[in-house]
Amino acid sequence: MRKNETTPKVRITDQFRSGESMVYDLKCDNIRITISMSSSRQDDQWSAEALAKQAPDPPKISGSGSSRSEALTVLAEAWRLRSGSEGFPWLDWTAIRDALLAVRAI
C-alpha cells in the first residue's frame, strides 16, 4: 500500500476551548483550517465558523443550525459556493466531517 493510501486526507492537529466555543485546527492535505463551534443559549442554535490559514488575512465563513452537524453542513455548503475564489481553497468536506465525527465534535 502506498503512503498516501494510509495517511488520512484530513486530520485534527489541535482542539481546545476558547470562551464559549470549541475550536478545531485541521490539516486538509496541505491546507490548514480552523473551525470553531459554539451554541447560543438564547435560541438553541449552533454556529460553526471556518477560515483557511494560508492567506495573510483569511476570510471567515459561517453557518448555523439546530445542531452542530447541521451548522457544519450549512458552513460546508457556503464554503463550496465560494470554493476557488480568493481565500477559499477546495476542501474535502466529507473527510472534514469524518474527522470531526471521530472526536465527537458533531
Q: In this structure, is the dihedral angle defined by the CA atoms of residues 13, 16, 18 and 20, taken in order, positive or negative?
A: positive
Domains of the chain by residue range: 3-102
Question: Mean pLDDT in each 10-residue stretch from start to end of the chain (106 residues)?
Answer: 61 95 94 94 90 83 95 96 86 96 93
Question: What pLDDT was estimated at residue 1?
Answer: 40
| Secondary structure class of 32 (helix, strand, coil) | strand
Instruction: Please state the pTM of the whole predicted model.
Output: 0.87
Question: What pLDDT was estimated at residue 5?
Answer: 56
Contacts 24+ apart (CB under 8 A), 34-43: 35/72, 35/75, 35/96, 35/100, 37/68, 37/71, 37/72, 37/105, 37/106
Question: What pLDDT was estimated at residue 30?
Answer: 87
